[in-house]
Amino acid sequence: MHSDIVDLRSFYSTTLGRFAERSITMALSSIWAAVPNERLVGLGYTLPWLERFGSDAERVFAFMPATQGAVVWPATGPTATALVFDEELPLVDSCIDRMLLVHSLEHVENPRETLNEIWRVLSPAGRVVIVVPNRRGVWARFEHTPFGNGRPFSRGQLTELLREANFTPAAWSDALFFPPSRRRFMMRFHNVLERAQT
């Protein structure tokens, strides 16, 4: 089952969604090296993180897969959103410095082909940052979150997939250690559980 843009926006507007966003932001911050004037593309539902990590970028685009749907972004100024097919990105070769994938790779029909297309558009020193559900993680087991939909990956599976597409995995970070409970008393412990794992 694919995550729909309406469902994704609804989830991230909830308290649980905001906590998940913070947890992922903490994990990304630990591996995200700032590169001034980079060209950054987000593929999937990356809006919360493009706003945070794209502030120093020369250009930022939000590519949303056709199976997911799209929303206008940013709210003010020229639109930087495009509805795309993940195996045919509307970019020339070697033109992007970094790609961020969130709620993307676990939903694509052919992950290898999508990664080959990302390889095509990345510059020689380009990087791809991928957020996927962990096959062993508790969040991958609950369908009331976007991480319970699609194909979860183990670290070994993702490493093999990346190497087959010519990428060299360089850094890893984990997130979402707190349970995906909607109960307020459980959500109170999210900070403690996240910080205990880092």
pLDDT 10s digit of each residue in the chain, 198 long? 567 899 999 999 999 999 999 999 999 999 999 888 999 999 999 999 999 999 889 999 999 999 999 999 998 989 999 999 999 999 999 999 999 999 999 999 999 999 999 999 999 999 999 999 999 999 999 998 999 999 999 999 999 999 999 999 999 999 998 888 776 655 565 555 555 555
H/E element, 115: helix 111-121
Q: Which of 102, 185, 180 is nearest to 138 (CA)?
A: 180
CA 184 and chain centroid, separation: 26
Q: Which amino acid is at 50?
A: L
Q: Which amino acid is at 129?
A: V
Q: Determine contact, residues 68/2, Cβ cutoff 8 Å.
A: yes
Beta bridge partners of 88: 85
Looking at the structure, give the CATH architecture of the domain made up of residues 5-197: 3-Layer(aba) Sandwich (3.40)
Tell me the C-alpha distance between 93 and 114, whole Å: 14
H/E element, 59: strand 59-65
Beta bridge partners of 31: none
Angle, alpha carbons 34-38-43 (nearest 5°): 95
What pLDDT score was predicted for residue 197?
53
What pLDDT score was predicted for residue 177?
84
What pLDDT score was predicted for residue 34?
86
* pTM, 2 dp: 0.92
Q: Which of 109, 182, 60 is nearest to 52 (CA)?
A: 60
